[in-house]
Structure 1
Amino acid sequence: MAKLNGWLIYNGHLQTNKFLDYVDWMLKAAEKQGIELAAKTNDQFIAGTTSAGYPAVYSRSGKQTELPDFIHFADKDLHLARQLERLGVHLFNSSTAIGICDNKSLMHEKLAAKQIPVPKTMIAPLIFPGMELINKTYLETVEREIGLPLIVKEAYGSFGEQVYWVENRHKLHEIAARLAGRDHLYQQPALLSVGTDIRLNVVGNEVVAAMKRTSENDFRANVTAGGSTQPYRPDNDEIQLALAAAKAVQANFAGVDLLYGENGPMVCEVNSNPHLRSIYECTGVDVADYMISFISNKLT
């Protein structure tokens, strides 16, 4: 049987240690299992169409590129991802899963459709970028239904950034005006979980690793925001909730963040491209090995 041949596509403008570490980590995991995995940046290719509507992907060199057996798409360039899928390449995760997880507003719609417990959430009315927020009366509804304090999240953001704690009405109006023209949402804080969450890494139909993240000086528990970690053994309810959340967003690989709610665990968010180093250093579990095994089992 021929050796599997794959690409790992990541963003060409994110040449930071954190992202390059992820690329190197995945390449080594593939090598251990005898899979050829080549790193490619998204800007090596341009998605396009022809007058006949056929999908096409043009390489930077201008030469025809032979497509691989699979792609681990570790980026959010959805135009390229969709085009590669149209050409018949199997993506892990799919463009659908990446698109859902990339937009927190859409992600919460998908979780709600499957009746997955989440904090009470309201999505801000959209206005055109660059326009001033003139009518703020909807904020009265937000304050009445969610109360204060509350959390504001931009739909697009990573590593706990673009997330704001709002204590009072003045700050609420200030944040709403500042985010005018940007997709964002308002969320009831899980007061039992301020500064604490649980990260469960899902691969296929299995939770392969879990850790508890805690911050002593921030309502966000993200490691990038200064949180500390400790190994965590999730109970069956937490495992089933994480699996259901990953399924709701159609993700093969996911980092599911859970919060402690008054009536049990709730889903904070689902990440389609979770980084691996922090959970490895915390638990000793190499999630990349499980990811590569999943891909191999799916394709062979």
Structure 2
Amino acid sequence: MNIVILSRNPHLYSTQRLIEEGRKRQHKVEVIDPLKCDIIIEKEKPTIYYKDRYLDYVDAIIPRIGASITFYGCAVVRQFEMMNVFSIVSSGAILRSRDKLKSLQLLSKAGIGMPKTVFTNYSRDVEEVIAHVGGVPVIIKLLEGTQGLGVVLAETKNAAESVLEAFNGLEARVIVQEFIKEAKGADLRALIVDGQVVGAMKRQGKEGEFRSNLHRGGSAKIIKLSDAELKLAMNAAKALKLPVCGVDMLQSARGPLLLEINSTPGLEGIEGATGRNIAKAIITYIEKNR
């Protein structure tokens, strides 16, 4: 089988692991930069041209599309879909997951538990916004943020007002969320492949840090999810139609709460913490569906 990994950096851990596992199973695996692909739109003959050749021999793709290239990256994934090439996640699902507001709205409708969240276009009513999420402290998030960037903990009303005014001045869209104190700076990441949890870890933020992202110095260890946590992770992935994804959750006094879903989750942290061969599971998923 000819498998293409859509990635801008062939040296990343996740990309290297997928290459390794794919080749172990006798597949031809190559890395292609989606920004260097030309999308050729023609009646009944959609094609993609890359460097010196047409990509008309590809059987399956693994999108590793960074948030900064979502628009063009998804256009490339969509073009492969038009060519009847199997993708482990669809272009539509990636777009849904990258739109934090839309994804939270869809997940709420699907009955997924999550922290109280407010989106407003009129942030001068700070007191009202804070009241809607249960009072300070609150979390303020950029809708386009990633890896913990653009996430602020506002511990007082004045701090929340200042942050919202600053983001407003930058014309940046934000959501305000309830702060889950009992989570103690930790969250859970469940890795979903083929709709099932294949690995889970607990990420703990470093001392004094409320964000648990490994990119920000957090640590991770393997964890066995409760039935409620397993159910939430699988239902959330199903609601956004993401057969392969990372589901981030918080442990709260009222049960697990969804934090966000990542349609192109990194493999280094989860494989390191759990010892599970996640890359192999992804290649096996392709084999089952191609």
Give yes or no for TM over 0.5. yes
2:124 and 2:268 map into 1 onto residues whose CA distance is 44
Match of 1:39 among 25, 31, 35: 31
- Which of residues 73, 80, 94 is equivalent to 1:84? 80
Q: Alignment length, in residue pairs? A: 280
1:97 aligns with 2:90: no
Q: Counterparts of 1:110 and 1:136 in 2: how far apart (Å)?
A: 23
Match of 1:179 in 2: 167
Q: Deviations over 1:192-251 (max 9, x none)?
A: 113111111111131111111112321111111111111101121111110001111111
Does the aligned pair in 2 maintain the 1:104–1:154 contact within 8 Å?
A: no
What does 1:91-170 correspond to in 2, within 5 Å?
Answer: 91-125=87-121, 136-146=123-133, 147-170=135-158
Q: Which range moves more in the overlay, 114-123 or 81-90?
A: 81-90
Q: 2:238 aligns with which of 243, 247, 253?
A: 247
How do 1:273-292 and structure 2 match up within 5 A? 273-292=264-283
Q: CA deviation at 1:54?
A: 6.7
Contact 1:202-1:252 at 8 Å conserved across structures? yes
Report the residue type matching 1:289 in the other structure. Answer: K
User: Which stretch shows the higher mean deviation, 167-176 or 263-272?
Assistant: 167-176
Amino acid at match of 2:182: L
Q: Which amino acid aligns with 2:108?
A: A
Cα separation, partners in 2 of 1:288 and 1:149, compared to 1, 3 Å: same
* Conservation of the 8 A alpha-carbon contact between 2:107 and 2:240: yes
Question: What secondary structure, in the 3-state scheme, does the structure 1 residue paired with 2:111 have?
Answer: coil
Q: Is the 8 A contact 2:117 2:176 kept in 1?
A: yes
1:262-273 paired onto structure 2 within 5 Å = 262-273=253-264
Q: Is the 8 A contact 2:246 2:262 kept in 1?
A: yes
Determine helix, strand or coil for the equivalent of 1:22. helix
Contact 2:188 2:248 in 1 (8 A): yes
The answer as to 2:5 corresponding to 1:8 is yes
- Structure 1 residue 254, shift from structure 2 partner: 1.1
Conservation of the 8 A alpha-carbon contact between 2:187 and 2:203: yes
Corresponding residue number in structure 2 for 1:193: 183
Alpha-carbon distance between aligned partners in 1 of 2:123 and 2:260, rounded to the nearest angstrom = 27
Q: Give the % identical residues.
A: 26
Alpha-carbon deviation of 1:136?
3.6
Asked whether 1:205 is paired with 2:195, we answer yes
Any unmatched runs of 5+ in structure 1? 126-134
CA contact (8 A) 2:2 2:60 kept: yes
TM-score for both structures, normalised by structure 1:
0.87
Alignment-mate amino acid for residue 222 of structure 2: P
Counterpart for residue 220 of structure 1: 211
Whole-angstrom distance in 1 between the partners of 2:284 and 2:123: 51
Two-structure CA RMSD over aligned residues (Å)? 1.9
Deviation larger for 110-119 or 80-89: 80-89
How many angstroms apart in 2 are the aligned matches of 1:280 and 1:57?
33
Q: Give the secondary-structure state (helix, strand or coil) at the position aligned to 2:215.
A: coil
Whole-angstrom CA distance in 1 between matches of 2:279 and 2:55:
27
**Counterpart AA for 1:170:** N
Q: Give unmatched runs, 5+ long, in structure 2.
A: none
CA contact (8 A) 2:5 2:30 kept: yes
> In 2, are the aligned partners of 1:67 and 1:89 still within 8 Å (CA)?
no
What amino acid does structure 2 have at the position aligned with 1:186? V
Structure 2 distance, partners of 1:16, 1:49, is: 27
